[in-house]
Amino acid sequence: MKEYFIQNAKDFIGEEVTLKGWAYNVRKSGKIWFLMLRDGTGIMQCVVTKFDADEDSFNIKDSITQESSVIVTGEVKEEPRSPGGYEMLAKKVELVSIAEEYPISLKEHGIDYLMDKRHLWLRSKRQHAIMRIRHTIIKSIRDFFDDRDFTLIDTPIFQQAATEGTATLFETDYFGEPAYLTQSGQLYGEAGAAAFGKIYCFGPTFRAEKSKTRRHLTEFWMVEPEMAYYDLDMNMDLAEAFVQYIVSQVLEHRRPELETLERDISILEGIQTPFPRISYTDAVKILQKNGVDFKWGDDFGGADETIISSQFKSPVMVHRYPAAIKAFYMKRDPENEEQVLALDMLAPEGYGEIIGGSQREDDIDLLIQRIKADGATEEDYAWYLDLRRYGSFPHSGFGLGLERVVTWLCGLKHIRETAPFPRTMTRLNP
Ligand code: 4AD
Ligand code: MG
């Protein structure tokens, strides 16, 4: 069976084909009407006249409404004046289902209204552009690691212990015992790195983020590579090559979508490796120089990240943070025991943190100290501590937040449009 899609129109010029989709818009003028047919891959103008179409087909103009489902057969020709550059001369139009009055018209609607109608809003040109860019980013994430011999290790969504602190855990009842939705696959990824050398996991992660911000979702996708015998510098080399690859793939394959979103493409084209690398201590100096009242030891807020990243055209990697503000599993800096071998990558233009990672603590005694300092017990992390008992090894990894990268590359003001059905503190529906 041969299928025809509007995005491939150039392959069937001059042929009579059948296209199946929905009425994006209808314009009528006497003996002729124009149907903008949307099939999910593009939009094609179909011209319906009494001469070329049969009478039943022609009369559909009286009942068709916006988003009615419709099948059209006719010849496709090049037409530079038509959107997309092609046009169909319709021979037959079949109405599959008449749509009720569509709640999203071509006029402007408020964001809350559109989010309530997300299941329909996804049909719009803008949402198409964002979802296609998201798709390309996901593909480039997988290709990057697959091409470098990383093994995919899927990590569990139900977990017993926290990875990124207890404050953002979603608790659920697991046959009478508490279980938590995963905040990160990392700890399991470390077991994977001991088994396979280089691994990655990629899936949904969950955080009970109790504040409303434009950067936080409660459910988001994270890709987490974990590499045996990588130190912090090797970890940063990989993170930099990875992000550069994603940017190059989006520029290569999604230019029309970036244009639809009116993204300033030249800024993305200006991104170049090597990315700048600065220590946390240097970042603090940048803030102080810019008049921010910031003390060594504090954590960066969104506004601080914007000031730091605005010094650079490419993403900047900030490394060696105070231990007190970072997770228990990060390796203590041998040069300064107040610090850990952490890295955060901040996107340019104020888009904030896109990567968090570190070299991991491989000394079991130091690790137990950090676990206890967090108020947890050795038993809580018994299997994880085994990885230090049976062949402990230097290793590193990081996590990249998919929706943060989509926000940045698409140039969006808010993260809520980056997921088909986003979850935030105030949204569980649709
Ligand atoms: O910095 P985070 O918390 O790091 C980890 O989870 C590590 N265990 C990763 C690792 O080393 N394997 O989160 C990693 C990234 C952040 O840099 C950010 O891009 C994204 O995940 N992220 C969020 N994205 C959307 N909404 C949220 N609430 C997010 N929290 C983190
Ligand atoms: Mg982080």
> Which atom from ligand 1 is nearest to the alpha carbon of 168?
28
What the block records as the tokens of 66 is: 């916006």
The CA 238 to ligand 1 mean position distance, Å, reads 17
Collapsing DSSP states into helix, strand and coil, what is residue 427?
strand
Helix, strand, or coil (residue 262): coil
Whether the CB-CB separation of 403 and 418 falls below 8 Å is answered with yes
The residue type of 83 is: P
Res 30: pLDDT: 86
pLDDT tens digit sequence for 95-106: 999 999 999 987
Contact predicate 404/348, CB 8 Å: no
Quote helix, strand, coil % in the chain, to nearest 5: 35, 30, 35
Give the number of C-alpha atoms closer than 13 A to the C-alpha of residue 163, restricted to the C-beta side: 25
205 — pLDDT class (breaks 50, 70, 90): very high
Q: Is the CB of 209 under 6 A from ligand 1?
A: yes
Any idea which ligand is nearest the CA of 186? 1
Ligand nearest to the CA of 300: 2
Q: How far is the CA of 201 from the centre of ligand 2 (A)?
A: 17
Q: Which residue has the tokens 């207890």?
A: 166
What CATH number matches the domain at 6-97, 3.30.70.141, 2.40.160.10, 1.10.10.10, 2.40.50.140? Answer: 2.40.50.140
pLDDT of 414 > 90? The answer is: yes
Give Cα 253 to chain centroid, integer Å: 16
- Residue 107 is predicted with a pLDDT of 79
pLDDT tens digit string along 249-299? 999 999 999 999 999 999 999 999 999 999 999 999 999 999 999 999 999
Average pLDDT over the chain reads: 97
> Which residues does 237 contact at the CB level (< 8 Å), separation at least 6?
none
* Strand 177-181 to 316-322 pairing: unpaired
CA distance 187 to 367: 13
CATH of 118-418, one of 3.30.70.1060, 3.40.50.2300, 1.10.287.130, 3.30.930.10: 3.30.930.10
Q: Where in the chain is the domain with CATH 2.40.50.140?
A: 6-97
* CA 208 – ligand 1 centroid, Å: 13
Mean pLDDT of the 418-423 span:
98
Domain with CATH 3.30.930.10 in the chain: 118-418
User: Whose atoms come closest to the Cα of 354: which ligand?
Assistant: 1
Quote the pLDDT of residue 367: 98
Q: What is the pTM of this model?
A: 0.97
Mean of the pLDDT values across residues 385-395? 98
Which residue is closest in CA terms to ligand 1's atom 2? 356
Mean pLDDT of 341-354: 97
Longest dimension (CA), the chain: 85
Of 88, 107, 112, 94, the closest CA to residue 16 belongs to: 88
Angstrom distances, CA of residue 227 to CA of 36, 97, 109, 357, 358:
51, 53, 47, 12, 11
